[in-house]
Chain A
């Protein structure tokens, strides 16, 4: 069993609030150590520190690795690798779009300017003629926008 086998198994674990994206594609699995066939350690990190879904995801990760027949599984939640939306994979970005959420804009982690939120591409029609309505949405990681081209409100996955 390799690290990749574990990652493959974790592709079945989804964010409970956005069920089309796996924890791997979300970029929140920060380390996997396969000690031997019966000992695996996984490190993960929350998107936002106050994310209420982290305990559910932690348990789902644990069960998924146990489901591979691994006897001892340890899942640690830590901030060793600080999560950023830049860690969302291409596949993850496509999954967000499929869920009707504008994927996060890529940005320089040291100089996040919130102006990038002003013209987020609409997930329905692709237009960038959009307006930020609020940087706060129904979950901590989402923002609210309005598309002036197709006249629809939409949500975005906000860059952090």
Chain B
């Protein structure tokens, strides 16, 4: 097994979950309905749990520091999340659309990972398949409802959200130099394959929601190499504020 390649994969996935968990948690107390407030808060907590589990795998199997250090003590340029997850929440339409596009990608990604030759990751993938369904169900329900069963305004808002999210969503599948080794070792099927499965998976739902998938769009890459938007650093500053006061504190 190629350890640097596996770490590259785990950092990409864990950092995505950590940062999106933080963005989702920003809806706590502000959701448009109580149920939605709770939904985003719960999904945030699940995602944080998944990030922590991946950092723990790196700590236990790949000689990385403990999960808290990995989550809270790395600089912006060391973060491997895609730029999609760092974007501000915007309005609820954008948050829902991002939630849907991300969780659909996560669904195909984690389904593929149940077959991973890296056992700790395969076990985690198998473990979280039930949790993930609830996330996707939530996102899918709203995308369909607001897309085709709501009003003209809700449809227009969802279409705009899809158009704005799309270039960044494509950035989730930024090619990585690690993928060749990961594919060869049977750890992961590679971003290109996940992208194709994601497109096939999304299309029926978006069609049912009467939403048009933008075409001829240039993906926004860079996040996987440590190049981020101006939105990430303020998020990291806020997220790590308490932890950095005393990193050695026992919680």
Contact = CB atoms under 8 A, between A and B. Distances in A.
Residue picked from B39, B124, B131, B134, most chain A C-beta under 10 Å: B134
Interface string A102-146: 000000000010100000000000000000011111101000100
A136 B35 contact: yes
Nearest to A48: B131
Interface residues of A, number: 25
Interface stretch (B40-48, B92-100, B151-159, B234-242): B40-48
B49 interface: yes
A49 B39 CA distance: 17
A79 B124 contact: yes
Q: State the main secondary structure of chain A at its contact with B.
A: loop
A82 B127 contact: yes
Interface string B50-66: 10110000000000000
Contact of B42 (A45, A136, A160): A136
Contacts of A78: 123
Nearest to A77: B56
B12 to A, nearest CB: 18
B138 interface: yes
Given A50-B52, A114-B137, A133 B35 contact: yes
A135 B137 CA distance: 9
Q: State the main secondary structure of chain B at its contact with A.
A: helix
Contacts of B35: 133-134, 136, 144
Contacts of A159: 130
Interface string B151-179: 00000000000000000000000000000
Contacts of A22: none
Interface of B: 35, 38-39, 41-43, 45-50, 52-53, 123-124, 126-128, 130-131, 133-134, 137-138
A137 B134 CA distance: 12
Given A48-B131, A114-B134, A136 B123 contact: no
Given A49-B53, A79-B123, A144-B35, A136 B43 contact: yes
Contacts of A82: 123, 126-127
A94 B41 CA distance: 29
Given A49-B50, A49-B128, A158-B134, 14 more contacts: A49-B49, A49-B127, A50-B46, A50-B52, A52-B45, A78-B123, A79-B123, A79-B126, A84-B130, A112-B130, A135-B134, A136-B35, A159-B130, A160-B131
A83 B123 CA distance: 11
Contacts of B124: 49, 79
A48 B50 CA distance: 9
30 contacts: A49-B46, A49-B50, A49-B52, A50-B46, A50-B50, A51-B49, A52-B45, A78-B123, A79-B126, A79-B127, A112-B130, A112-B133, A114-B134, A134-B35, A135-B39, A136-B35, A136-B38, A136-B39, A136-B41, A136-B43, A136-B134, A137-B42, A138-B38, A140-B42, A140-B45, A140-B46, A144-B38, A160-B130, A160-B131, A160-B134
